[in-house]
Amino acid sequence: MLRVEFGDISASPQQEKIALGNLDASLSTIKLETTDSCLLNKITQLIDLEYLWIVSDRQIYKFAKDGKFICQIGRKGQGAQEYIAPEYIQVDNSQQLVYVLDFFGRKMLVYDYNGKFVNSWGLPEDYSLNRIAFHNKTLYYTSFSNAVSPDLLAYDVATNTIDTVSFRDRTMGQEAFAGQTFIYNLNKKTYLYHYFNDTVYTLEGKLHPSYIFDLGNTKFTYAQLTLVGDNTSEEPIRNPKVMISNFIDMADYLIISYSVIQSWDPTKELDNRFALYDKSGKEMHSDVKFVVDGKPWFDIKPENAIFASSDEHSIYVFKQADELTDSPEFEKLDVDSNPVLIKYSFQ
């Protein structure tokens, strides 16, 4: 397994500046078309697969690769063919189907590529399911139901049967919210990571250890995640702790999104950071800001969400229109326009 060591994490952000040009990175932009029926705010999910599939403001949208708006997938509502809150989506390109996990509606919905309703079924009882991945005609669900180790369920869409791949072996009682389980598809692999376990797995029917995030003394102990009072844990947090929220595994690099936690005080703003791991040089940059020389509006900041591309050399970031209107490339962009996607290619 590949071991990725974070090293020392400072209590205050250091933000080592790494010029994207020094990583041989190039960029391109995609203006997402704005229409009366397609007004996007914050993008919470993007899938780059034949089309651009976007979840924003609890709606699902389909765009062409050049940013032209094509259609909305499904619609919000309480009807049998509608979703309340699409927490997560997955796309089966071979069957031209979109799977939607409706968290508050407690059901799965299936639409075709034109947005027509195909099927739906209820989610398993006694679970809080917040992530799905689609791989080899199987939907994999992860739960975050008060567990140190998440349950992992597999739903065979061909036979309509569900099975347990991995089941939690203990629960924590009054557990603090210290991150999330996340599962996603990238480069024909399905990845699984959970904040209390430092191992990243790939999934092929069974869990296979792929590599380890070695957090050293920034990893939470069991007692530091167990609350004994308001915002107070059983064991005090005396040094910065790392909470990984996302990572993208590319051909040459790992880009990791994380937060630094020093207390459970909910009034404190999250300290979001990026780490960059160079696979070939086996070099870790634990706190970075990606900069584009002479064009700061293209910088990738820790508060920016990053999304995987359909190839193993690229990532996407979105910028709101009002962040770009002062730049020469976007001087004609209206502040009320949809976000602009920026694709960074590292090759």
For 63-78, the pLDDT digits (tens) are 999 999 999 999 999 9
pLDDT class for 98, splitting at 50, 70, 90? Answer: very high
Q: How far apart are CA 154 and CA 165, in angstroms?
A: 7
DSSP code at position 330: G
Q: Residue range 175-197: average pLDDT?
A: 68
3-state secondary structure of 333: coil
Give the mean pLDDT of the chain.
88
For every residue of 158-218, DSSP letters joined together read TTTEEEEEE----B-SSB------EEEEETTEEEEEETTEEEEEEEESEEEEEEEEE-GGG
Asked if 128 and 150 count as a contact pair (C-beta separation under 8 A), the reply is no
The H or E element spanning position 7 is none
CB within 8 A of 215, min separation 6: which ones? 6, 198, 242
pLDDT at 11 over 50: yes
Q: What is the mean pLDDT of residues 89-103?
A: 94
Do the beta carbons of residue 334 and residue 321 sit within 8 Å? yes
pLDDT for residue 231: 82
- At residue 149 the predicted structure's pLDDT band, cuts being 50, 70 and 90, is low
pLDDT at residue 144 greater than cutoff 80: no
Enter the DSSP assignment of 226.
B
Q: Side by side, which strands form the sheet with 161-166?
A: 129-135, 138-143, 152-156, 161-166
pLDDT tens digits, one per residue of 17-57: 999 999 999 999 999 999 999 999 999 999 999 999 999 99
Q: How far is CA 223 from CA 38, 200, 229, 271, 307, in A?
A: 46, 23, 13, 22, 33
The residue with tokens 């651009």 is: 52
Q: By the 8 A CB rule, do 29 and 15 touch?
A: no
Tens-place pLDDT, residues 114-134? 999 999 999 887 777 778 889
**Helix locations, the chain, DSSP H:** none
Q: Determine contact, residues 134/101, Cβ cutoff 8 Å.
A: no
Q: Which residue has the tokens 């001087």?
A: 331
Residue 177 clears pLDDT 50, i.e. is over it? no
Give the pLDDT score at 345.
96
Q: Which of 329, 347, 330 lies closest to 338, judged by CA?
A: 330
Which of 283, 278, 275 is CA-nearest to residue 255?
Answer: 275
Q: What pLDDT, on a 0 to 100 scale, did the predictor assign at position 128?
A: 77
Q: For residue 142, give the nearest of 104, 103, 177 by alpha carbon.
A: 103
Neighbours of 127 (CB within 10 A): 16
Of 270, 254, 268, which is closest to residue 306 (Cα–Cα)? 254
**Separation of alpha carbons 184 and 48, rounded Å:** 13
pLDDT in tens, 270-291: 899 999 999 999 999 999 999 9
Better-scored residue on pLDDT, 2 or 256: 256
Taking the whole predicted model, whether its pTM rises above 0.85 is answered as: yes
Joined together, the tokens standing for residue 111 give: 């639409």
Q: Check pLDDT > 90 for residue 222.
A: no
In whole angstroms, give the CA distance from residue 302 to residue 282: 22
Residue from 61, 55, 113 nearest 89 by CA: 55
Integer Cα distance of 87 and 181 in angstroms: 14
| Distance (Å, whole) CA 182 – CA 150 | 10
Per-residue confidence (pLDDT) for residue 14, from 0 to 100? 92
Please state which of the four CATH numbers 2.120.10.30, 3.90.228.20, 3.40.50.280, 3.40.50.1820 is assigned to the domain occupying 2-346: 2.120.10.30
pLDDT(101) > 90:
yes
Confidence band, pLDDT 50/70/90 cuts, at residue 173: low
